[in-house]
Structure 1
Amino acid sequence: MLQERSAVRNGGGDAPLLSVHGLCVRFRGITALDGVSFDVRRGQIAGLIGPNGAGKTTLFNCLSRLYGYSEGRITFDGRPMEDVPRHKVAGMGIGRTFQNLALFASMTVLDNIKVGRHPRTRKGFLASALRLPGVAEEEADSTRRASELVRFLGLEEVAQQRVAELPFGTRKRVELGRALASEPSLLLLDEPAAGLNHEEVGSLGSLIKAIRDQYHLTVLLVEHHMGLVMSVSDHVVALNFGRKISEGTPAQVRKDPEVVQAYLGTES
Structure 2
Amino acid sequence: MSVDAAGPLLSVSDVSIRFGGIIALSDVSFDAARRQVCSVIGPNGAGKTTLFNCISRLYRPNSGSILFDGNSLDSQPQYKIAGVGLGRTFQNLALFRTMSVLDNVLVGTHHTLRCGFLAHAFQIGVAAEERRARDRALEMCDLVGLGPYVDVDVGSLPFGIQKRVEFARALAAEPKMLMLDEPAAGLNHEEVEGLRALIRDVCDKMSIAILLVEHHMNLVMSVSDKVVVLNFGRKIAEGSPDTVRSNPDVMEAYLGTEA
TM score, norm. by length of structure 2: 0.96
Q: Does residue 57 in structure 1 map to residue 62 in structure 2? A: no
Q: Does residue 22 in structure 1 map to residue 14 in structure 2? A: yes
> Which stretch shifts more, 152-161 or 220-229?
152-161
Residue by residue over 1:98-135, the C-alpha shift from the partner in whole angstroms, topping out at 9 and shown as x without a partner, is: 0001111111001111100011012246754x452111
Counterpart mapping for 1:5-20 below 5 A: 12-20=4-12
Q: Does residue 160 in structure 1 map to residue 151 in structure 2? A: yes
Counterpart pick for 1:133 among 124, 127, 131:
124
> Which stretch shifts more, 149-158 or 106-115?
149-158
Amino acid at match of 1:229: V
Q: Does residue 199 in structure 1 map to residue 190 in structure 2? A: yes
Runs of 4+ in structure 1 deviating by more than 3 angstroms, as ranges, are 124-128, 264-268
Counterpart residue number, 1:103? 95
Counterpart mapping for 1:65-76 below 5 A: 65-76=57-68
Counterpart residue number, 1:244? 235
Instruction: Structure 2: give runs of 5+ residues left out of the alignment.
Output: none
Q: CA deviation at 1:266?
A: 3.3
Cα contact 2:14–2:29 (8 A) shared by 1: yes
Q: Secondary structure at 1:105's aligned position in 2?
A: coil
Counterpart residue number, 1:5? none
Counterpart residue number, 2:108? 116
Residue by residue over 1:194-237, the C-alpha shift from the partner in whole angstroms, topping out at 9 and shown as x without a partner, is: 00001111111011000112211111100000000000000000
Counterpart pick for 1:176 among 167, 190, 213:
167
Q: Does residue 46 in structure 1 map to residue 47 in structure 2? A: no
Q: Distance in 1 between matches of 2:117 and 2:161?
A: 31
Q: Distance in 2 between matches of 1:109 and 1:235?
A: 33
Q: Percent identity?
A: 57
TM score, norm. by length of structure 1: 0.93
Cα contact 2:183–2:214 (8 A) shared by 1: yes
Q: Does residue 221 in structure 1 map to residue 192 in structure 2? A: no
Residue by residue over 1:244-266, the C-alpha shift from the partner in whole angstroms, topping out at 9 and shown as x without a partner, is: 00001000101111111112553
Cα contact 1:258–1:267 (8 A) shared by 2: no
Distance 1:258 1:94, change over 3 A: same
Q: Distance in 2 between matches of 1:97 and 1:229?
A: 17
Q: Distance in 2 between matches of 1:126 and 1:102?
A: 31
Cα contact 2:3–2:70 (8 A) shared by 1: no
Amino acid at match of 1:216: S
Amino acid at match of 2:159: F
Q: Distance in 1 between matches of 2:141 and 2:15?
A: 37
Q: Does residue 34 in structure 1 map to residue 26 in structure 2? A: yes
Q: Secondary structure at 1:33's aligned position in 2?
A: strand
Aligned length: 258
RMSD, matched Cα = 1.5
Q: Secondary structure at 2:4's aligned position in 1?
A: coil
Residue by residue over 1:161-186, the C-alpha shift from the partner in whole angstroms, topping out at 9 and shown as x without a partner, is: 00000000000000000000010001
